[in-house]
Amino acid sequence: MIIGVHILHQPQPYFVDTILQLAKQKPTDRFIIFCKQPLQQLPANCVQHIKVPSPQFYLSLQFWYAATLPRLIKQHGINVFITNANRLCVKTTAVQFLYVECNVDTTIQHFLGKYHFKKALATASKIFTNELFVQQQLCNNWKVNETQVTNIYHALPAAPLQQVSFTVAQQLKDSFTEGYDYFIYHVDETSSLHLITLLKAFSQFKKWQKSSIKLVLLLNGQQPERLINDFKNYKYRNDVFFIDEAVAMGSMLIPCAFAMLYFSNQFATNYAIAALQHHVPVIAEQNDVNNAFFKKAFLPTAIKEHDIADQLQAIYKDEAIREHLQQQAQQVLSVYNIDNAATNLYNAIST
């Protein structure tokens, strides 16, 4: 079988990892991967095509799916095609599958995006999701027949990762946060809207606790001065550290955090799963999506100054709460297995 894969975006590598694991499991099948950024350490049965338009360029992406991609599918003899682009190829004889890996109710807002997504849902031979709540969204809100949707879960390591040693954690804190513990918060398009509220909550927490704990803000290319007006006047500005997320991914910043705050609806780009894997407690917004994913493995809060401050104080003072959340996290992660994700995907596209 010759399998074509279009990877439109890869903020977190779960879809990529599933495909690469599948390639390792099936060495006699060929994989033609279309992506914007080169992938490293590909199995021998994978070939990359690195000229894919960015999602923000609508006309280029439209031409890609209407003309370029059908030609490439025919050229490579692809008979099965999988994509996470929320749209499908216009003209092809290949069997097409859609991989949906985000909170589609909030991430697909533009009417053109909705049009192409609805068309793809109707065209796909089968739809894959990586979370049960995404599967439920498709069935309840996008009127997809439940028999068309298969949930294969995120492609995470089969066993939870071990906690970082005290020595390694202290060395990292010495390098990034002056040797002190820290909360960590990833700033994306959604979570940046709550940044001021978070800083006010952090101020309230500092007043209550008189603690030296810091706040690390993970940035995705944003400029701090543009994110927060008059930050120079913020009382606890010396306790806030701006660090690029590329640095975080190449270090142990998330595993060594005291706790993570997660106020985003862009589930595919979040770092909360990484936090759970590394036994880092998570404080997240109380909503249906988070309840469905985290279950009891997070400390819920409204995105209000006093509520967030209360939960920061609770997770800081009460070791029993942290231990309970860590235990619950392992139950949540128990369904994630990279081998199972790849096997389930292959079984579905083969039938």
- pLDDT tens across 278-296, in order? 899 999 999 888 888 889 9
- On the question of pLDDT at 106 being above 80, the answer is no
329 and 342 in one domain?
no
Give me the pLDDT at residue 115, please. 87
Residue 302, in any domain of the structure: yes
198 and 269 in one domain?
yes
Q: Give the domain CATH number at 323.
A: 3.40.50.2000
Give me the pLDDT at residue 70, please. 92
306 and 177 in one domain?
yes
Which of 110-114, 119-123, 286-290 is predicted most confidently? 119-123
202 and 152 in one domain?
no
Instruction: Compare 54 and 74 and report the one with higher pLDDT.
Output: 74
Closest CA to 349 of 100, 14, 56, 125: 125
Residue 282, in any domain of the structure: yes
User: What's the rounded mean pLDDT across residues 257-267?
Assistant: 86
Residue 138, in any domain of the structure: yes
Closest CA to 169 of 105, 242, 232, 253: 253
User: What's the rounded mean pLDDT across residues 168-181?
Assistant: 95
DSSP secondary structure letter of residue 36: S
Give me the pLDDT at residue 55, please. 63
User: What's the rounded mean pLDDT across residues 203-209?
Assistant: 95
Strands (E), the chain: 2-7, 30-35, 46-49, 80-83, 95-100, 126-129, 149-151, 182-186, 214-219, 240-244, 259-262, 282-285, 299-301
pLDDT in tens, 11-66: 456 788 899 999 999 999 999 999 888 888 899 999 998 777 776 667 777 888 88
List the domain range (segments joined by +) for residue 271.
166-333
Predicted TM-score of the model (pTM) = 0.78
Looking at the chain, the whole-number percentage of residues with pLDDT higher than 70 is 91
Mean pLDDT for the chain?
88
Into how many domains does the chain fold?
2
Residue 192, in any domain of the structure: yes
212 and 261 in one domain?
yes
150 and 227 in one domain?
no
- On the question of pLDDT at 109 being above 70, the answer is no
Residue 149, in any domain of the structure: yes
Residue 317, in any domain of the structure: yes
Q: How confident is the model at residue 330 (pLDDT cuts 50, 70, 90)?
A: confident
144 and 177 in one domain?
no
210 and 140 in one domain?
no
- On the question of pLDDT at 220 being above 60, the answer is yes
141 and 15 in one domain?
yes
186 and 70 in one domain?
no
- On the question of pLDDT at 307 being above 60, the answer is yes
- On the question of pLDDT at 9 being above 70, the answer is no
CB 207 within 8 A of CB 236: no
Give me the pLDDT at residue 303, please. 96
249's tokens:
């991914």
Alpha-carbon distances of 346 from 1, 123, 133, 349, rounded to whole Å: 11, 19, 22, 5
107 and 232 in one domain?
no
**95 phi/psi in degrees, rounded to 5:** -75, 130
User: What's the rounded mean pLDDT across residues 152-173?
Assistant: 78
- In whole angstroms, what is the distance from residue 174 CA to residue 256 CA? 12
Closest CA to 284 of 258, 312, 256, 257: 312
130 and 79 in one domain?
yes
Residue 161, in any domain of the structure: no
Residue 175, in any domain of the structure: yes
